[in-house]
Structure formats: C-alpha cells, structure tokens
Amino acid sequence: MSTFQGIPTAAFRFYEELEENNNREWWLEHKSAYDAGVREPLTALLAELEPEFGPAKVFRPNRDVRFSQDKSPYKTAQGGFAARHERVGYYVQVSADGFRVSGGFFAHSPAQLARYRAAVDAPASGSELERIVDALAAAGFSIEGETLKTVPRGFDKDHPRAELLKHKSLSAALDLGQPAWLSTPGAVQEVAARWRDLQPLVEWVGEHAAP
C-alpha cells in the first residue's frame, strides 16, 4: 500500500521560515517538521514514481560551504533526482516558491560536452533536439542550463542551432507553485505526466551525450 499522501503545505512554510532562520539551532529545533513535512513525503513520492522512471535519491539538506562566502548551513530548497544516466534525469524540488519539476542534463564532463556538441551539430540529431526543445517551450517549460556567451570554438557563429551549441548543460523546467493536487495522492500522476513531457529531452541526452 502506498504511503504517499501528498506534499503538505507545511513543506513550503518550513522553507519560508528557514530563509529567515538559516542556522543550526533553528534547524535542530525544527528538524521533526522537516522530516515529516518535506523529506518523508518527497521520498514517498519518488518511490511511487520509481517503477516508471527508475530509482531516485533525495539530496542532503546541508550546504557545502567550504568554498562559499555564504556560510548558511542549509539549502533553502529540497531536491530529488531520478538519474537515467550520469548527470542526466528527472528532478523535483520543494522550496518557499513552490514545487518545481525539470529534466535534462544538469552538469557535464568534457567527454559528455563533446558528444553533446557533435550531436547538436549533426543535422539529424540536432534538428531532433531543436524540435524537442521547441515543443517543451511551447508547452510552458523554461529552457535552462549553463551557457556560453558565444558559439564554442570550432563551430560557425551562424550555425543554425547556435543557441543549443552554447549550452554546457541543458534542461527544461516548470514552476508549478502550490497547486491543490500537490497535497493529495494524485500528485503522483501529475508529476508523472510532466516527467513524461520531459522524457524526449532526457532520452535524447541519454542517447547522444551520456556515457
């Protein structure tokens, strides 16, 4: 029997308060609220999605502050990731801003980036990616990722897919806010539907850029 009953509104309140109280003392005092309202529901949601999209992990709430000027100890969002390949897959996030779904590839190795650029450059695979990205944008997804300011060296600056060549990572995201269905078991079907929309992008990257 499923244990997932929805993502409660308390999850968003938790992050609203964390943004004002990002310190260890507050966290320890409210850790039970984090576990019950954020981590456990998100873990249960990902478990429900696993049969179709594969196993997923919930990220640690602690920030790595070793090389950051911002020493706030905790992330102000909770993410979960279902990896289809290294750095490639489906993502969900809870924060004070609401609920986000996305998919694509979120980081790169030099070899992945070289394969990605070669596939974008090739007429058949490049045109396929262009159609996928255009369809996602038309469906309301924002196209995101780390980009260069110019077309990478070795490619024509007037390349027909110049904007895609500039990407060092590529994902599509949908910010959903706090829809009524999110606090119900029906959130599983709603998230699955949006991940299915993202599936062509995830599969393209998996085929053409992943190891």
**In which element (H, E) is residue 174 found?**
strand 170-177
pLDDT of residue 116: 96
Q: Is 109 helix (H, G, I), strand (E, B) or coil?
A: coil
pLDDT in tens, 55-105: 999 999 999 878 777 889 999 999 999 999 888 999 999 999 999 999 999
Residue 1 pLDDT exceeds 60: no
Q: 109 and 168 in contact (C-beta within 8 Å)?
A: no
Q: 99 and 93 in contact (C-beta within 8 Å)?
A: yes
Average pLDDT over residues 15-38: 96
pLDDT of residue 2: 65
Task: Give pTM, 2 decimals.
Answer: 0.94
DSSP string across 18-50: HHH--SHHHHHHHHHHHIIIIIHHHHHHHHHHH
* d(C-alpha 133, C-alpha 151), whole Å: 18
Which residues does residue 175 pair with via DSSP β-bridges, in sequence order?
A: 100
pLDDT in tens, 150-208: 999 999 999 999 999 999 999 999 999 999 999 999 999 999 999 999 999 999 999 99
